[in-house]
Amino acid sequence: MSPQNPYSEANAASLTELTNFANSLSEKQLVTPMPADWTVAAVLAHLAFWDFRSITLIKKWQAEGISASPNDVDVVNEATRPFLVAIEPRRAVQISLSIAAELNQLIDSLSPDFLQDVSENGKTVRLDRSTHRYNHIREIKAALGVK
């Protein structure tokens, strides 16, 4: 089966890796501290937050057309951290995986014209979700001392 769009394969592969990795983590690993007062589970919840932001904007843009949606990523990350750290660790895993799957399905359903419009005009939504996922998987593995 050929990919549905240029992002499908990378998004699917990153979700598979995220699923296998996140589901393999023990409760102790999920609460392992990470830099800047994050935990492993909170980083997974962070992925869910940004994926859900993408879902929200894509649906809004489908209804209303693409418009600017700027944000200060560092401020948003810092402002959400205490809430994401407070999520029960196993629930953070579930949320991360279910929202990632939902976003992959949404991106796969988009028309080529809409994908192009998002790529050109929706600069605050990256349709290739794999980079963000892989970056955080690498950071978590480093914090846990695993390969």
What's the CATH code of the domain at 27? 1.20.120.450
116, two tokens: 């192009």
Locus of tokens 């993408």: 54
Under a CB-based contact definition with an 8 Å cutoff, are residues 83 and 91 in contact? no
Distance between CA 135 and CA 77 in Å, rounded? 15
How many domains does the chain contain in total?
1
Residue 7 has pLDDT above 90, yes or no: yes
Do the beta carbons of residue 4 and residue 123 sit within 8 Å?
no
Domain that holds residue 134: 8-144
Domain membership flag for residue 105: yes
Q: Is 2 inside any structural domain?
A: no
Mean pLDDT of 81-104: 98
What integer is the mean pLDDT of 134-144? 97
In a domain, 85, yes or no: yes
33 secondary structure, DSSP code:
E
Beta bridge partners of 33: 39
> What per-residue confidence (pLDDT) applies to 1?
47
pLDDT tens-place string over residues 30-76:
999 999 999 999 999 999 999 999 999 999 999 999 988 888 999 99
Rounded distance between C-alpha atoms, residue 1 and residue 25, angstroms: 32
Instruction: Judge whether 1 lies within some domain.
Output: no
State pLDDT tens for residues 103-129: 999 999 999 999 999 999 988 899 999
Positive or negative, the CA dihedral 106, 111, 116, 117 is negative
Across the range 6-14, mean pLDDT stands at 96
Task: Read off the pLDDT band of 2 (50, 70, 90).
Answer: low
